[in-house]
Amino acid sequence: MSSWLGGAELRAVALRPVAAEDREAQEDELLALASIYDEDEFKRAEAAQGGETRICLELPPNFRVVVS
């Protein structure tokens, strides 16, 4: 996970084990996300079930994000 806050880009990747019966539903969700967002906003993970979402925001000075 990385965050860059200046002009601001937040990136997060979350992967979790998926039961066999959930794989088809997850595949449908990933296809839907890929059809909604362009490649700069959503990219499927090549080696695993999952993807990366990029969110670009205009933030006020001294804005902070805390991740624990």
Domain boundaries, the chain: 2-56
Whether residue 34 contacts residue 26, with contact meaning beta carbons closer than 8 Å, is answered with no
pLDDT tens for each residue of 3-28: 444 455 556 555 566 677 788 888 88
From residue 52, alpha-carbon distances to 30, 44, 45, 56 in Å are: 10, 6, 7, 13
**pTM, rounded to two decimals:** 0.47
Whether residue 33 contacts residue 51, with contact meaning beta carbons closer than 8 Å, is answered with yes
> Residue 47: which pLDDT band, with cuts at 50, 70 and 90?
low
